[in-house]
């Protein structure tokens, strides 16, 4: 926006212009010289979500009889009838994510680092929406069981070619972390599979003290029960009761 403007309202303007001269004066001396930029209304804040019933930080997690699968940076509660699948990076051997699976539904869970001063779920949600739209899908923000969430149609590869899959992204900000869940199948509608929502809500994040950039995945590890040894195959059921474990590489 220019801070000066040309004046033509003085008697001497014509003589100046005839001589090829122009006159300028500071905008503060000319009425209306400053034009304020239109104010952009702030985006509405996300609805408040209480973590009183989870997900929890390890410093605040209540004692419970429900066993939790210890993945280092994340503890996942066991639920009878659920299969837990661990996605493992082949090069590093580290766990990338964990998914709880039913015959007709699933939720993938990942924990990420966040700044100390504020959460990042809102920013991540917007980035997810932009990526989905750029890939030819659709995304819409709605209010759900965990606050503001994203319902979407995500482009995926299928045996019949390129298709769209319904996916519901939820996120919860915690102290220096945020937890993301992706619900698919019959769990796509809110409340469609309450046992999967309860499992996500019952997770415990162990952020640790190591410095991590915001949005960096919090390192996860295979539980001791699944660490292979030279003489035996790792058991598939680390819980006395609860889900079956499947390792996916």
pLDDT tens series, the chain, 249 aa: 433 334 444 444 444 444 444 444 444 444 455 555 556 555 566 767 788 888 999 999 998 888 999 999 999 998 888 899 998 888 877 888 999 999 999 999 999 999 988 789 999 999 999 999 999 999 999 999 899 999 999 999 888 888 899 999 999 999 999 999 999 999 998 888 999 999 999 999 999 988 899 999 999 988 875 544 334 333 333 333 334 444 455
Determine, yes or no, domain membership for 221: yes
Determine, yes or no, domain membership for 71: yes
In terms of residue numbers, what domain contains 17? 1-41
Let me know whether 122 and 239 are in one domain: yes
Any idea what DSSP says for residue 223?
A: -
CA-based nearest residue to 146, from 111, 176, 183, 115: 183
Let me know whether 72 and 173 are in one domain: yes
Let me know whether 199 and 173 are in one domain: yes
Let me know whether 188 and 135 are in one domain: yes
pLDDT value of residue 93: 77
pLDDT value of residue 217: 93
Determine, yes or no, domain membership for 13: yes
Query: Is residue 224 classed as helix, strand or coil in its secondary structure?
Result: helix
What is the rounded distance in angstroms from the CA atom of residue 152 to the CA atom of residue 45? 21
Pair 68, 76: CB distance under 8 Å: yes
pLDDT value of residue 244: 42
Let me know whether 81 and 199 are in one domain: yes
Let me know whether 3 and 124 are in one domain: no
pLDDT value of residue 160: 80
Let me know whether 221 and 172 are in one domain: yes
pLDDT value of residue 65: 85
**What is the domain count for the chain?**
2
134 alpha carbon, distance to own chain's centre: 17
Determine, yes or no, domain membership for 226: yes
Let me know whether 19 and 140 are in one domain: no
Determine, yes or no, domain membership for 48: no
Determine, yes or no, domain membership for 50: no
Let me know whether 5 and 67 are in one domain: no
Let me know whether 24 and 72 are in one domain: no
Residue 36 to residues 7, 25, 242, Cα–Cα distance (Å): 20, 19, 63
Pair 53, 201: CB distance under 8 Å: yes
Residue 24 to residues 9, 21, 105, Cα–Cα distance (Å): 12, 10, 70
pLDDT value of residue 11: 47
pLDDT value of residue 54: 87
Pair 152, 168: CB distance under 8 Å: yes
What is the rounded distance in angstroms from the CA atom of residue 175 to the CA atom of residue 187? 27
pLDDT value of residue 44: 62
Let me know whether 178 and 224 are in one domain: yes
Let me know whether 190 and 240 are in one domain: yes
What is the rounded distance in angstroms from the CA atom of residue 233 to the CA atom of residue 249? 16
Pair 141, 129: CB distance under 8 Å: yes
Determine, yes or no, domain membership for 47: no
Determine, yes or no, domain membership for 212: yes
Q: Which residues contact 219 (CB under 8 A, 6 or more apart)?
A: 72, 73, 94
pLDDT value of residue 34: 54
Cut 0.75: pTM above it: no
């Amino acid at each position: 926006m220019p801070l000066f403007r040309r004046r033509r309202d003085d008697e001497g303007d014509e003589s100046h212009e005839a001589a090829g001269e122009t006159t300028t004066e500071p905008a503060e001396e000319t009425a209306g010289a400053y034009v304020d930029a239109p104010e952009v209304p702030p985006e509405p804040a996300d609805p408040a979500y209480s973590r009183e019933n989870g997900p929890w930080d390890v410093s605040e997690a209540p004692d419970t009889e429900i066993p939790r699968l210890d993945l280092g940076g994340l503890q996942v509660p066991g639920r009878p009838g659920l299969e837990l699948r661990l996605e493992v990076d082949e090069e590093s051997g580290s766990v990338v994510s964990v998914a709880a699976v039913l015959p007709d539904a699933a939720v993938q869970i990942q924990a990420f680092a966040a700044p100390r001063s504020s959460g990042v779920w809102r920013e991540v949600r917007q980035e997810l929406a932009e990526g989905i739209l750029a890939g030819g899908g659709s995304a819409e923000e709605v209010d759900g069981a965990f606050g503001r969430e994203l319902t979407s149609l995500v482009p995926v590869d299928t045996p019949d070619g390129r298709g769209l899959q319904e996916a519901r992204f939820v996120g919860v900000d915690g102290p220096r972390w945020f937890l993301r869940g992706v619900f698919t199948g019959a769990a796509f509608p809110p409340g469609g599979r309450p046992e999967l929502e309860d499992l996500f809500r019952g997770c415990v994040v162990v952020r640790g003290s190591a410095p991590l950039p915001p949005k960096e995945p919090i390192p996860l590890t295979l539980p001791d029960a699944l660490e292979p040894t030279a003489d035996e195959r790792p058991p598939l059921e680390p819980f006395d009761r609860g889900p079956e474990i499947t390792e996916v590489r």
